[in-house]
Every structure is written in structure tokens, then in C-alpha cells.
Chains A and B, each alone.
Chain A
Amino acid sequence: MRRWLTQMGIYGFLVLVTIVTLYPLLWVVGLAIGDGQRRGGLNPFASAPSLDGFQTLFRQSGFGQALFNSLAISLAAACLGVLLAATLGYALSRFQFFGKDAGLKSIIVSQMFPGVVSSIPIYWLLHHLDLLDSRTGLVLVYATTSVPFCAYAAKGWFDTLPSDLLDAARMDGAGPWRTFWTVALPLAAPALAVTFLFAFMGAWSEFILAQTFLFEESNYTVPMVLQRFTDPHSADWRAFAAGSLIVSAPVLALFYTLQKHLVGGLSAGAVK
């Protein structure tokens, strides 16, 4: 009986926590399909739901283009970031070289410097590489932003790979690249999934750098379009919420595809 009570208590508690967790999100949903009136009280849903918010959103010129841009930029940045991070993390984990320790430390330490004024030198750099106002430039910037964390996570993961496996590949005649591609990388899939997710999310929701570096409307990203609905004086929160739902969809899809790896991928690097 006592055991049963405990069990019920745990379920009750978990359900409560889940409700508290979901509640703010329900407001976003409620706002998006609401009637556009501000609502008080505890019930986030309007009595007469409407899809006007989505209509406004899709009428906003360039939303489709921005959606495409954001997807392209974020995917490219995530792929590039993961690739750079994986190779770098592999080198830091498996290679012997002078400055390895210092390199790893500076990667961690670089995370501690707030990027308040970083956009200024990056702007200069992109300008001189002729990558201002280009999706490529933004891909490069986003990819780099994610590399330190991702390389750190990837290194932790590669550390846990049994060295016998990599030796075996070497014995089987595989060179360093072949070993990396065919053995280390597939085995690091969970960690790569997590780093991919991080890199993607970072790029997907970034506004400030996009606003600074992109000029042409045809290059705009989704956060830039969504930001328009929060302009002072003329905010349209319903359209913003509708946009939020659309923006969240790919990330959620990614999360659920990768969630199997998520649990192991984050920590395994540190456990063993």
C-alpha cells in the first residue's frame, strides 16, 4: 500500500511538473490561434480560435524565402560546424602534438569571452573576404560560433572510444582519414547528433548577427522576419506567435529524431 502511494505520488509530481513546463508553451499556441485580443486569466485559449495569425504571417512578403534561407543557412552551418568540430575534436583526442593541452584549454576559455563587441571585427573580416550580405558568410560565422562547444563535446566522446578499435582499423590498413570516416565518425554518431542540434539551434534562432550582416531582403532569415512583428508601436503578437510555432517545428522534429542519442551523447564523453 505504501509502495503504491509512493508510486502515485511520483506520477502526480511528474505530471504536475510537466504541466508547469508546458504551460508557457500553451500560451504561445493559444496566442497563435487566438482572436488577437489580449487575454487575462489562466486559460490561454480563446473561445473562437482563428488562423488569422498564420494568414498575416504568410502574407508578410518574404516569409517563405526567409524560411528557406534559415533552413539552408542553419543546416549548412550545422554540417560545417559539426565537421570542423569533429575533426578538431578527433585531433585533440587522438593525436599527439605539442600544444594539444593548451589548444583544448583555449577552446574552453574562448567560451568565456562575451561576444559583445565581437561583431565589429567579424564585420571587418567578412567585409574584406567579400562575404558581407551573403548566406555563405553567415554560415561561416554560425558554424564557428558552435565549434568550440561541439569540439569539446566531440573530443570527450572520442576519448571514450576503445583505442583497440582505432588500432584495429590501422591494422586493417586504414589511414588516419579512413579510420576517422569509417570507424570513429560512425561510432561518434550520438555525440555528433547532439553537436549538430546545438549548432543548428544556434543558427536557427540568431537575430543580431543576421541583422548586422545581411542587407538584401532575399537573404533574410526567419528571426529577422519574425522580429518585424515585435517592432515597437506596431507589434503583432499573434503573427509572432504563429511564426514561433512554425519556427519551432523543425527544431522539434530534429529533437525528436535525435532524442535517442541526446541522452547518451551529452554525458558519455565525461563518464568513462
Chain B
Amino acid sequence: MNAPLLLLWFATGVLNSPLAAAELLAQSGQEITKKSEAFDCGQSFKAEGEPLVLWHAWRDQEAEALAKVVAACGLPLKVTSSPFEGFPEKVSTALAHGRGPDLFIFAQDRMGQWLKAGDLATQQAVPGRFLPVAQEAFLHEGQSYGLPLASKSLVLFVNRALEEQPLEDLAMVPPRDQPLLWTTLDSYYHAFPFLAAAGAAPFDEAGQLQFPSESDRQGLEMLGRLVNELKVLPRSLNADQAKAAFIEGRATYLMDGPWSLDGLRARVQELEIRPLPKVNGRPLRPFLGVDGVFVSAHSTRLELARSVASALASDRSAALRLERAGQLVPNLKVGAWAKAQGLRPLASQAMAAQVNGYPTPTQAEMLAIWGPAKDAVTAVVRQGTPAEDALSLAKRRIQKMLDPLPPPADLAPWFVVAGLLGVMGLIVVVRRYRADRLTRRSRTPLPTLLGFALPGGLVLILLVGAPILTGLGMSLFARGEESWRFVGFANYLSILASDGLGPTHPLSFWFTLVVTVLWTLINVALHFGIGLGLALLLFRPGLKFRTPLRLLLILPWAIPNYITALAWKGLFDEQFGAVNAMLLTLGLDPVGWWDTGVAAFTANLCTNVWLGFPFMMVTALGALSAIDGDQLEAARMDGAGSWFRLRHVILPQVMPAMVPALLLGTIWTFNAFNVIYLVSGGAPAHATDILVSEAYRFAFEGQQRYGYAAAYSVLIFGILVLFAWASTGVKGRRES
């Protein structure tokens, strides 16, 4: 950090000096040092033995600052930065297999899960070092399980150049056409401040789940009014859109998190950060997420790990991370120092603005709330559903997810049935073998056969066959607190009964099944039609530029689909998307692509058709080029028109090659998890989910109900096998 820059910050810091600088920070105003080097690491470490392993999901400046801390305090640490997506699951799984790190950094909200699994070691809290609310976030039954490093919560960004009068109370703002406070409202996280303002909390004092409570209803109703009647909040925006409006000077106020600070600071001149405003005189209370350092209970060097964790949460570390990465460190001494120094003034403002933060609960049940609560919020905000109805549905779904395990089923009859099936299978195999007409000599010699088939076969059995069998088995189990419980068909019954929701409800298995079937049918039909049509055009004799055209047309296939799917999602963006721009050019109204099931389905469909037609086109081209040219000539000599030639000469010869492609295409489309997940994400409210994306939700979002997800997989498998069996049956009959 060079001196002029520090000076500049100092200057702007004085200018921007926040009026509402938290008294909390002032409390610790002890002795103030000038440089971060003056703070200490708590203790020193001798380099001996293998370094401990630390995993985190920070990146860029935060990761660099962390590296500085490790170097500055001489920590015996090997630091690994992992992608954020799937990080907590990765930690859980690795810890469960004894392969996890000694320490890891994550927000406190996943703590409950790790606690349940017995993965966390206790740590010594340092009284008076941290902002009390941040330290308390890591408390469980009076024990501290983590040390706070950085806090993150929604705050109010203000463009003072546009501000006419300070925003005090959202409910007092006169009705208007344009939103006043810009934000996305597409998650429970962003809606929570409004619910909390009405006094809602997901868990009661005793830690018991109480969502959704009467306060939630009031808060949600208020939120609905703010959006749809008072119009001070936007109805359907995503976070990027809200941020863009703020940057472009169309919005005076933005509700966003400190992670956006860097992007905003560079582009908005008179930026100020304040606590969120009030509603009806009560302050909005955002979730306060605190990234903390956890120590694995499985670490072989627990004491060393604890002292390293303590050093990571030391004053020196906090000062470095604040200075280098602008992290909001809940460290009282360092906070006061930064404020006094005018160092990172906006960060200081942001820290002060977190004053009303509500620490995200650590209970594992929290994972069950996010999804249903999000659906309730979007239903109220976007569809105008009464808060009462939306919340009662959410309540049902949460209860279902948190259902005590199904009663254990008796294993004995299953053993008998499985045994009988096994014996019968064995008998069938032996009889088949006996009846096999191949004489011993006409068989390929065993060593040769094994040489060719064994490597592939073995690997397939191990890495494909065994997981399928495991999946079949898992579908009969449910994961309990510590172990798996055999529950028989309970998972299947629960899925098929669809939580008692009617078959027309988007969350019902049957609704999803219909969506999946429609999805598959339309996709495959379009893949086939477009692919074959283009192939026929490209196949026309005398066509020029055939090769370049073909090369360009297979591009969608060639580029990894997680990239192109995201590109399509961008095209369907309501505000910036090219599709809506095109509609506007044509004089049509723009469409909110994620607001209705039909629109979102169409968007998914466009993406997947685009992704899938080249495969069919190439297959069809291959099949076409194998057709005997003489036959076409003969047909033409016979005076057959082009339609007749297509129908009676070309298609009958192309179809045999297309059938396997169609079968494969059907299977792939039926399980096209990627596209759904990346494009619509199931929006709105799971209406565009297909079976496999539902299954993924159960496995990896929320409760990790692997047994339930496995049962979903088995059902999907059954449907596809049935389909394949039926279609080959039909084909067989037609041939005979």
C-alpha cells in the first residue's frame, strides 16, 4: 500500500466521516497504533513438522490478504482456496472420510451441520476482542466453535449526489412510480430484513424452529405492500440489475452487501454506506453472516490447530485483512484504529452499518427454510399471493423436510424377498447358460475374451454398476442424525404422494413428471426436426459453402454447455437481454422470462434446442451420406417429387441410423440437469424443474436427503427403462 494512496483515503475518510459510526467501535478505543504491524498475532510459531491444512472459499483480495496474514504471523499453514459452490459439502464429506483439513473458513450458518456430525472442536473465545454479536454467532450450548474473521450483511448504499432528503422510513415515503430503494427480492436472505423488522425470527429463544410465525406474516405482507402498493421497492430484479441501476445513477438507494463495495466505489462518486432504513419505525434487520475459522475435531494436532485459529483471528490478522482486502473485521480494537486512521473509510461505514444485523442462525434446520421461504417471498412479491397462503405452503414443505425419519422398516421380509429374488435370478442365469447354444468350442477363448472385456468391464462394474446398485439400496434408507435407517418403501411412497399436494401443484411429483415428459418430447422433436431439416439442406447437391456452414452450425455442440447455458440465461435477462431487445424492436412487449412457468419453460427449451440440434444434424448427415446415390437418381427418373423422395426413399434409410440417436437424445434430455439448473434454476417456484433437477435439490440443497434423492433417481431410471422397453417393443412389432 503506497503512501499517497493512504493519504487520499485518509482525506476522503474525513470527508465521509460517518455520522452514525457505531458507538460499539468507540467502546474499545484504547491505545491506537498507526500501522497494522503494530498489532500482534497473539503468539509465535516454530516451524516444525508438516504444516496444518486450511481450506477456504475466499478469493482475490480476501485470499491474498489471508496469505499475507499467514506470512506475517509465520503460521505453519498450507492454505487451499476452493470454489465457493459446493464448498461446505466438500468439507463435510472430506471430514467424514478423515481427509478433511485441520482448519477451514466459512460462514457460521452451516455450523449446525458440522456440529451434528461431530466435526468441530471447541475454541477459546477471547473476551473483549470481537464485536459481541459476531462472537455469539459461533456459540452453541455455551461453547464457542469458531472465531469470527469477517462479517457480511446487507447495508444501505447511498448515492449522495442524488439524495434529496435522508431516507428514514420506507413506509412513510409518498407513493411513487419508480422504486426508491433498489434491491433484488428473489431470496429469503433479501426479504429477511423486512420480516425481522416485524419482529420475526426463524428460531425462538430456545432455539426451536418457529418460522413461519405471525410476525413473518406481518413482515411479508408489509413487504408485499412496499412492492406492489407503495412501489418503493422493485418487483422483479436480480442483484446485478439493481446494482446496475445504482451505478448508472438511476437509483439513489441500493440494498446490497459489502461484497459489492469494490465495484461501487470505483463508479459512484459520492458513495456512502448506512444502516438499512426503517419500516413503520422499526429498523430493517439483515442476516449477519460471519465468516469464521473452524477447527476440525478430527485434526491430529488439535492444540496447534487451535492456536493457529486464534492467530488467524488475531488483531494483526484483522488489521491486515481490513487494510489489504477491506474486509469488515468484527474486531473492536482494529475497527476503532481504522476509523481513527481514516483507513478504508467505506469499510468502516459498512461495519458501523451492520449495527442491526441478526446473526444467521446456525441450526441445521436452517437449511430446510431457505428454499420454501424463498418461494413464499417470490410468490408474494411477484405473483401477489396472500402472505398467509404462501407461508402456509412453506410451512408444510419445511415440516415435510424436517419430518422425523420414517419409522424403521423390518428388514427380515426384505431379506427373504431379496434372497428369493437372488436365487430365482441365479436359476434363470444357470438355465440360460445351459440352454445357450454356443458350444464350448465356438466361444471365444476365455483369456482372449477377458483380455479385451475385463478392463472396461471391471471399471464399469466398479464405477458405474456399483454406484447404481448403491443408489438402489440407498433409496430404501433415510439418513438420520448419525446413521442410516432402513425405511423400506417410505421414500417412494412419500415422493409419489407428493406431500399431499394436488397433481397440479408445481411441487408435486406428478406435475414435475408431466413437465419432464413435455420437456423431453418437445426437445427431442425439435432436435430431430431441425437437425434432419438442416442436414437435408446441407446435403443438397451443388450446395456451395457446405463445409463452412456445417462447421459453424456444430459450434453449439463444441462449446462446453455450462458456458453457453449461462450465455443464454443472459440473453433472456428481462432488462439487458437481447431477446427482449429483439421483442422491443419488433414492437412487442418485453417478457419477464422467469416470472411465468410457460415463459421460463420456453427459455429453457430454446437453450436446450440450440444445444442439442447439432448432434442430430451430424448424425443425419452421416446417415444421408450413406444413402446410395443411384436410388435417388432412380426415384427421380421415376418422376418422384422431392416430398415423395424424402418420405419414401430418404427417410426409411435415414431412420435406422437416427433411432439410436433418438434414444440417446431422449435419455440425455430427460436428465438434462445442467440446462435447467443453469438457465431457469427451476423458476418460478419449481414450475420448470424436471425430475432430475428435483432429485439434485433433495440431495445437495438443504437437508442432503440422499435416500430421498436416490429414490427419485430410481423412479427416473424406471421411467426411462420402461420407455426404452416400450419403444423397442413398438419398433420390433413394426418390423415384424
Is B553 within 8 A of A132, CB to CB?
A: no
Query: Is B556 among interface residues, defined by CB-CB distance under 8 A?
Result: yes
The minimal Cβ–Cβ distance linking A195 to chain B, given in whole angstroms, is: 12
Q: Identify which of A47-55, A161-169, A205-213 touches chain B.
A: A205-213
Query: Is B45 among interface residues, defined by CB-CB distance under 8 A?
Result: no
Query: Is A171 among interface residues, defined by CB-CB distance under 8 A?
Result: no
Of chain A, the residue at the smallest CB distance from B723 is A112
Q: Enumerate chain B residues within 8 angstroms of A207, measured Cβ to Cβ.
A: 83, 85, 562
Is A270 within 8 A of B468, CB to CB?
A: no
The minimal Cβ–Cβ distance linking A58 to chain B, given in whole angstroms, is: 14
Query: Is B564 among interface residues, defined by CB-CB distance under 8 A?
Result: yes
Most-contacted residue by chain B among A120, A132, A232 (CB, 10 A): A120
Is B721 within 8 A of A109, CB to CB?
A: yes
CA distance A140 to B458 in the complex (A): 12
Query: Contacts A22-B555, A113-B471, A259-B554 hold; do A38 and B576 have CB atoms under 8 A apart?
Result: yes
| B interface majority secondary structure | helix
Q: Identify which of B6-14, B22-30, B165-173, B435-443 touches chain A.
A: B435-443
Q: Identify which of B279-287, B409-417, B614-622 touches chain A.
A: B614-622
With beta carbons under 8 angstroms apart, the residue of A24, A28, A87, A232 that contacts B610 is A24
Is B456 within 8 A of A42, CB to CB?
A: no
Most-contacted residue by chain A among B97, B567, B667 (CB, 10 A): B567
Contact with A along B546-587 (1 / 0, CB 8 A): 000111111111111111101110110001111001100100
Query: Is B444 among interface residues, defined by CB-CB distance under 8 A?
Result: yes
Residues of chain B from 687 to 736 with CB closer than 8 A to chain A in the complex: 692, 695-696, 699, 706, 709-710, 712-713, 716-717, 720-721, 724
With beta carbons under 8 angstroms apart, the residue of B452, B557, B659, B692 that contacts A116 is B692
Q: Enumerate chain B residues within 8 angstroms of A217, measured Cβ to Cβ.
A: 80-82
| A interface majority secondary structure | helix
Is B84 within 8 A of A231, CB to CB?
A: yes
Is B692 within 8 A of A110, CB to CB?
A: no
Q: How extensive is the interface on chain A, given as a class?
A: 35 or more
Is A211 within 8 A of B90, CB to CB?
A: yes
Is A270 within 8 A of B657, CB to CB?
A: yes
With beta carbons under 8 angstroms apart, the residue of B460, B534, B566 that contacts A110 is B460
Of chain A, the residue at the smallest CB distance from B57 is A231
Is A208 within 8 A of B537, CB to CB?
A: no
Is A88 within 8 A of B621, CB to CB?
A: no
With beta carbons under 8 angstroms apart, the residue of A84, A116, A127, A234 that contacts B259 is A234
Most-contacted residue by chain B among A10, A108, A237, A267 (CB, 10 A): A267
Residues of chain B from 255 to 301 with CB closer than 8 A to chain A in the complex: 257, 259-260
Is B456 within 8 A of A151, CB to CB?
A: yes
Query: Contacts A117-B474, A133-B99, A247-B560 hold; do A271 and B448 have CB atoms under 8 A apart?
Result: no
With beta carbons under 8 angstroms apart, the residue of B244, B453, B467 that contacts A88 is B453
Of chain A, the residue at the smallest CB distance from B446 is A97
Is A251 within 8 A of B559, CB to CB?
A: yes
CA distance A61 to B67 in the complex (A): 12
Query: Is B660 among interface residues, defined by CB-CB distance under 8 A?
Result: yes
Of chain A, the residue at the smallest CB distance from B627 is A271
Is B566 within 8 A of A230, CB to CB?
A: yes
The minimal Cβ–Cβ distance linking A37 to chain B, given in whole angstroms, is: 8
Is A97 within 8 A of B444, CB to CB?
A: yes
Q: Enumerate chain A residues within 8 angstroms of B667, measured Cβ to Cβ.
A: 111-112
Is B567 within 8 A of A24, CB to CB?
A: yes
Query: Contacts A113-B713, A116-B712, A118-B467 hold; do A98 and B443 have CB atoms under 8 A apart?
Result: yes
CA distance A44 to B89 in the complex (A): 37
Query: Contacts A21-B553, A116-B692, A176-B452 hold; do A98 and B436 have CB atoms under 8 A apart?
Result: yes
Contact with B along A109-145 (1 / 0, CB 8 A): 1111111111011111101000011000000110111
Is A252 within 8 A of B84, CB to CB?
A: no
Query: Is B629 among interface residues, defined by CB-CB distance under 8 A?
Result: no
With beta carbons under 8 angstroms apart, the residue of A23, A87, A117, A132 that contacts B99 is A132
Residues of chain A from 8 to 23 with CB closer than 8 A to chain B in the complex: 10, 13-14, 17-18, 21-23
Q: Enumerate chain A residues within 8 angstroms of B673, measured Cβ to Cβ.
A: 114
Query: Contacts A211-B86, A248-B559, A268-B622 hold; do A147 and B660 have CB atoms under 8 A apart?
Result: no
Contact with A along B154-197 (1 / 0, CB 8 A): 00000000000000000000000000000000000000000000
Ordered nearest first, which 9 A-B pairs have the shortest CB separation? A205-B560, A88-B456, A267-B622, A233-B259, A112-B720, A84-B456, A118-B467, A95-B444, A144-B463
Known contacts A87-B455, A234-B59, A259-B551; 6 further A-B pairs (Cβ under 8 A):
A28-B567, A95-B448, A95-B453, A116-B709, A120-B470, A141-B463
Q: List 25 A–B pairs whose Cβ atoms lie within 8 Å, in order of A's numbering.
A: A10-B543, A17-B534, A17-B553, A21-B555, A25-B555, A40-B581, A42-B581, A42-B582, A84-B456, A95-B449, A96-B442, A97-B453, A98-B433, A98-B443, A117-B470, A117-B471, A145-B464, A205-B563, A211-B85, A227-B84, A231-B85, A262-B618, A266-B618, A267-B661, A270-B661
